[in-house]
Amino acid sequence: METLEDFRQRSRAWLAGNMRRLPPDAEPWNAMRVDEGDAERAKALQRKLFQAGFAGLCFPKEYGGRGLPRVYQKAFTEESRPYEMPLLFNTPTLTIIAPTILDMGTEAQKRRHLPAMIRGDELWVQFMSEPSGGSDLAGVITSARFDGDNYLLNGSKIWSSYAYFSDYAICLARTDWDAVKHQGLTMFIVKIHQPGVTVNRIRQSDGNVEFCQEFFDDVPLAPEDVIGKVNDGWTVGQRLLFHERSATGGSSPYASGTAGRRIETIDDLVNLARAAGRLDDPRIRELLAEVYVLQTVQGQATDRIVAGIAAEALPATSGAMLRLFTGLNGLRRSDIALEIASSDAVAWDAGESDGATGKSYIFRQAWCLGGGSTEMQRNIISERVLGMPREPAADRGMPFKDVRRNAPGKEA
Amino acid sequence: MQPIRRAGGALDFDLTEEQQLFADTSRRFLADECDLSTIRKLAETDAGFTADWWRRAAGLGWISLLVDEDAGGLGLGDEGILYLGLVAEEMGRMVSPGPLLPCSLVAATLSRSGSDEQRSEALPALVSGEATASWCFAEGGNSWSADSVAMQAERVPVGYRLHGDKWPVEAAAEARHLLVTARCDGQLTQFLVPADTAGVAIEPLEGLDLVRRFARVRFDGVEVDESTVVGAPGGAADDVERQLQIGLAVSCAESAGAVARVFEFTLEWAFERYSFGRPLASYQALKHRFADMKTYLEGCHATASAALHAIAASSADSACLARVAKAFIGDFAPEIVQECVQMHGGIGVTWDHDIHLYLRRVTTNRAILGAPREHRLAIADLLKL
């Protein structure tokens, strides 16, 4: 195998010769503001990485990856920092869905979809949460009824990012209403753009449009598109949630380029302070350093927990701590940005600002909601890292069709 | 259901065999010779530790970790700080007494920059534990930075005259030597001053920690000769920064160990304590707080470990990472322990319960070597904001 240092040098040279260097004042990549044009651009860049052998570094070679240890991906990501990267492919396609299919999919599914994701042909989304509830994921009521040939999908999913311009979705649906909650679920592969699927876009509280809601009307799903076993979708869902925690907590080995929302520098906050003429104010300097401290420790905690899980010194569920840490740090960062921007965050000249600081603050709690609420992470940490008793559930051991659901009129 | 064993975790998961052995030996020594009931007895003494016990502690190699082989040390090089971090972590877990940090810092600097005479006379007694030493750096309040050093070393015919007060100075009352940081012609200069030199007055302070003592050391026109200078006159800036970095990282390792231990016995308590017929550990309102504590405890471990490793690797960012660790742990260590006091209920605020010993230690560590706010301001400067 090529040494890490050689690989790093080769990456650096290739990036310099082939990728677009971002201008120093480039807006940080914002997952919240992505459209079809960005999707096309990301596909082209992902293809470019693939052709040069820099895509899917930690995926097995037989499925289009390079089979390298995670330190190679880390090195490539570090080297790629100054360049435009196809960040849109990271989450959920490469960090959540691809590893779930790798873990749980059939050989045919892996051969069909993994190389297509890695070479930039397929963008994926998750059809998991429903309007009827997000945290109680196993309580999904979207149904897939077998008609002898296919499963017919009916119901609705929500909070899927970018569904309107993506290609495929991984979808959790109920296939047995007589079974108890967790045992009547099946995970499917769904082609998004087909008759019977309606995709609506959701406008967020900050005015941006990232998420979608989908409606299904007798959408036929073939038996070969079942991931894992029929009625064992919860097992697949657990793997998916594991990879989601890794991705949102920043510990996924499959992210290429700076994962998710770009928070590893405080440059944007420093620019904000400079623009407000407050960079010499010790109070502001202290706040900037506080963000730096929290982010640095977040990175250190990520390294520690990833290593601890690998060494089996920590349980695999420990990724939930990173998700919690990230969420809480996000809140603090948002508060500090608001403090630095002061009145500029609430009233601004149209020509000089887009009001991003104030708008981000309005959307602040998304830090603690997206990718599983921090309350769910706290349940996981207390119950499955610390071994504390599980929360009582009123639906345990009961056929799902008899489980009480949202009050009439409060379904969504 | 049982709480997961050693749920507080450790600073590093991947110790070498030598490091593991060393940590085990230190842990056994502390458990056998200095349990918490012993510490409560030591609290009634002036020094907070006994000379004989300290000699045996030093016999385990604790003060030789940052000392070169030719000066009687273990010759571990920069890696020695990882071992020192392990001792500090164990001392934190046991809220142990003993001037580990001041002796280590003085020993490290003598080994690195001391004269032949200092290395052959003062250093061996430190390494063997026969004598202790301390570092006179801060001048009250929040003056834990090189820029804050105001004490003047005036040139006089016999050498230098030192004038000024230093406090708080750890374990100064027992120290045979004092490493004094002062300014000579505006430049940082360090002196190794015998504590019994004429004009040196040591006034014990009262303090929060039950066994860690501090003093104010007054230098009233103390005259010292050229041989007391450590390194080059006016050239101590590197040594001072290194002492600070080592001190910050080791203090953080100790606080992380203390919090880990508190978290462990608080978690056990949550499983054993019942109210309304169910254990505290079954209440979601409390489970979520344990989850937050565990998460921030992992952060404490991660950042203390990163600071130690950065120093061990002579990494360019060790200055920043040592201060990141202190800023983070300074904020979170006392907060987690206070939260654990809350989990204990009324018993948590009694003298008989051990938790206040830990709260005293981490609160002391928060202030000594600089409070979080000072480190955040230093970080802003280091980042050239």
What is the tens place of the pLDDT at every residue in B343-375?
999 999 999 999 999 999 999 999 999 999 999
- Shortest CB distance from B377 goes to which of A289, A325, A387? A289
* Inter-chain CB proximity A293 and B279 less than 8 Å: no
B2 domain residue, yes or no:
no
In this structure, are B213 and B255 located in the same domain? no
B4 domain residue, yes or no:
no
In this structure, are B371 and B344 located in the same domain? yes
In this structure, are B36 and B145 located in the same domain? no
Mean pLDDT of chain B: 96
For A78, A388, B1, B290, the CA distances from B281, given in Å and listed in that order, are 42, 6, 10, 9
- Choose the final residue of a domain: B230, B257, B288: B230
* Inter-chain CB proximity A386 and B299 less than 8 Å: no
Min Cα separation A379/chain B (Å):
7
How far, in Å, CA of A201 to CA of A275, rounded? 34
- Choose the final residue of a domain: A98, A118, A138: A118
Q: Is B379 on the interface with A (CB under 8 A)?
A: yes
B180 domain residue, yes or no:
yes
B112 domain residue, yes or no:
yes
We report the CATH number of the domain holding residue A155 as 2.40.110.10
How far, in Å, CA of B381 to CA of A285, rounded? 9
In this structure, are B158 and B226 located in the same domain? yes
Domain count, chain B: 3
Where in the sequence is the domain holding A371, given as residue range(s)?
A: 263-385
A50 domain residue, yes or no:
yes
Per-residue pLDDT tens over the stretch B274-316: 999 999 999 999 999 999 999 999 999 999 999 999 999 999 9
- Choose the final residue of a domain: A118, A153, A188: A118
In this structure, are B241 and B357 located in the same domain? yes
A3 domain residue, yes or no:
no
In this structure, are A268 and A376 located in the same domain? yes
* Inter-chain CB proximity B1 and A387 less than 8 Å: yes
In this structure, are A214 and A161 located in the same domain? yes
In this structure, are A201 and A114 located in the same domain? no
A402 domain residue, yes or no:
no
* Inter-chain CB proximity B1 and A288 less than 8 Å: no
* Chain Cα centroid distance, residue A11: 26
In this structure, are A294 and A378 located in the same domain? yes
In this structure, are A309 and A366 located in the same domain? yes
User: Cβ–Cβ contacts within 10 Å for residue A136, how many?
Assistant: 15
How far, in Å, CA of A358 to CA of A363, rounded? 9
Element (H, E) at A198: strand A197-203
Integer-rounded Cα Rg, in Å, for chain B is 21
What's the pLDDT score for residue B2?
A: 47
We report the CATH number of the domain holding residue B185 as 2.40.110.10
* Inter-chain CB proximity A311 and B305 less than 8 Å: no
What's the pLDDT score for residue A264?
A: 52
Q: Is B196 on the interface with A (CB under 8 A)?
A: no
- Choose the final residue of a domain: B175, B203, B230: B230
pLDDT tens per residue, chain A (412 residues)? 899 999 999 999 999 999 999 877 676 666 666 778 889 999 999 999 999 999 999 999 999 999 999 999 999 998 998 899 999 999 899 999 999 999 999 999 999 999 999 999 999 999 999 998 878 889 999 999 999 999 999 999 998 878 999 999 999 999 999 999 999 999 999 999 999 999 999 999 998 887 899 999 999 999 999 999 999 999 999 999 889 878 876 778 998 887 433 445 798 899 999 998 999 999 999 999 999 999 999 999 988 998 888 888 899 889 899 999 999 999 999 999 999 999 999 999 998 888 999 999 999 999 999 878 999 999 999 999 999 999 988 888 899 999 988 876 665 4
How far, in Å, CA of A208 to CA of A30, rounded? 11
DSSP at A98: H
Question: What percentage of chain B has pLDDT greater than the value 70?
Answer: 98
- Shortest CB distance from B377 goes to which of A285, A307, A318? A285
Contacts of A294 in chain B (CB under 8 A): 328
We report the CATH number of the domain holding residue B45 as 1.10.540.10
- Choose the final residue of a domain: B205, B230, B255: B230
A394 domain residue, yes or no:
no
B1 domain residue, yes or no:
no
Q: Which amino acid is at A303?
A: D
Min Cα separation B174/chain A (Å):
37
- Choose the final residue of a domain: A177, A210, A231: A231
We report the CATH number of the domain holding residue A77 as 1.10.540.10
In this structure, are B124 and B149 located in the same domain? no
How far, in Å, CA of B144 to CA of B181, rounded? 11
Strand partners, B193: B178
How far, in Å, CA of A297 to CA of A313, rounded? 20
In this structure, are B249 and B285 located in the same domain? yes
* Inter-chain CB proximity A391 and B3 less than 8 Å: no
Min Cα separation B298/chain A (Å):
6
How far, in Å, CA of A237 to CA of A117, rounded? 20
In this structure, are B50 and B89 located in the same domain? yes
How far, in Å, CA of A162 to CA of A87, rounded? 13
DSSP at A399: B
Structure tokens, B94: 């046991």
Contacts of A368 in chain B (CB under 8 A): none
Q: Is A351 on the interface with B (CB under 8 A)?
A: no
Q: Is B306 on the interface with A (CB under 8 A)?
A: yes
In this structure, are A97 and A135 located in the same domain? no
Torsion angle (degrees, nearest 10) of CA A243, A247, A250, A256: 110
In this structure, are A378 and A270 located in the same domain? yes
Q: Is B56 on the interface with A (CB under 8 A)?
A: no
A253 domain residue, yes or no:
no
A337 domain residue, yes or no:
yes
In this structure, are B293 and B266 located in the same domain? yes
We report the CATH number of the domain holding residue B360 as 1.20.140.10
How many degrees, rounded to 5, is the angle at CA A152 between CA A146 and CA A154?
A: 130
Distance between first and last Cα of chain A = 53
* Inter-chain CB proximity B287 and A377 less than 8 Å: no
Question: Which of A135, A304, A322, A323 should be substituted to probe chain B, the one whose Cβ sees the most B Cβ atoms within 10 Å?
Answer: A304
Element (H, E) at B338: helix B318-344
In this structure, are A272 and A345 located in the same domain? yes
Helices (H), A230-387: 233-249, 267-275, 282-310, 319-341, 356-362, 374-380
Nearest CA in chain A to B264: A386
B83 domain residue, yes or no:
yes
Per-residue pLDDT tens over the stretch B193-252: 999 999 999 999 999 999 999 999 999 999 999 999 999 999 999 999 999 999 999 999
Number of H helices, E strands in chain A: 11, 8
How far, in Å, CA of A333 to CA of A41, rounded? 30
B365 domain residue, yes or no:
yes
Length of chain A: 412
Domain count, chain A: 3
- Provide the ipTM: 0.95
Where in the sequence is the domain holding B197, given as residue range(s)?
A: 134-230
* Inter-chain CB proximity A307 and B14 less than 8 Å: yes
How far, in Å, CA of B70 to CA of B77, rounded? 12
